[in-house]
């Protein structure tokens, strides 16, 4: 089953566009360097908060990614724009069934 990383964080409103501009480089670095990275979605929430939803092949892939931190320039640049991490959670995606 797919592991889902949920990270809620705050960014100063004046840096929101910079965060959005930094996202593609971060995703390229994830694709190049993070085994098991499947996809990601960035959600803008009210009051300067954001939710990053990242999909991993396994809990082990997610753990290995966390251990690497901001090891590449695109990842480090994105992380540097985050003022505060509000929460982080890990879960398992439940397959949808039709019919």
Q: What is the pLDDT of residues 65-94, one digit of tens each?
A: 999 999 999 999 999 999 999 999 999 999
Q: How many CB atoms lie within 10 A of CB 19?
A: 20
Predicted pLDDT at 34? 97
Token code pair at residue 54: 């990242």
Which one-letter DSSP state was computed for residue 12? Answer: -
CA distance 87 to 29: 23
Computed on alpha carbons and rounded to an integer, the radius of gyration of the chain in Å comes to 14
For the chain, domains (ranges, CATH) are: 3-90 (3.30.70.100)
pLDDT over 90 (residue 98): no
For residue 12, CA distances in Å to 25, 42, 75, 94 come to 20, 16, 18, 33
- pLDDT at residue 99, rounded to an integer: 59
Q: What is the pLDDT of residues 9-40, one digit of tens each?
A: 999 999 999 999 999 999 999 999 999 999 99
Other beta carbons less than 10 A from residue 81's beta carbon: 19
Model pTM score: 0.92
């Amino acid at each position: 089953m797919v592991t889902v990383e949920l990270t809620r964080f705050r960014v100063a409103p004046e840096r929101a566009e910079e965060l959005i501009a930094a996202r593609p480089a971060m995703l390229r670095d994830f694709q190049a360097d993070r085994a098991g990275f499947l996809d990601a979605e960035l959600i803008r929430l009210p009051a300067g908060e954001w939710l990053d939803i990242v999909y991993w092949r396994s809990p082990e892939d997610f753990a290995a990614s966390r251990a690497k931190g901001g090891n590449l320039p695109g990842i480090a640049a994105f992380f540097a724009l985050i003022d505060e991490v509000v929460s982080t959670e890990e879960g398992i995606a439940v397959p949808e069934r039709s019919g």
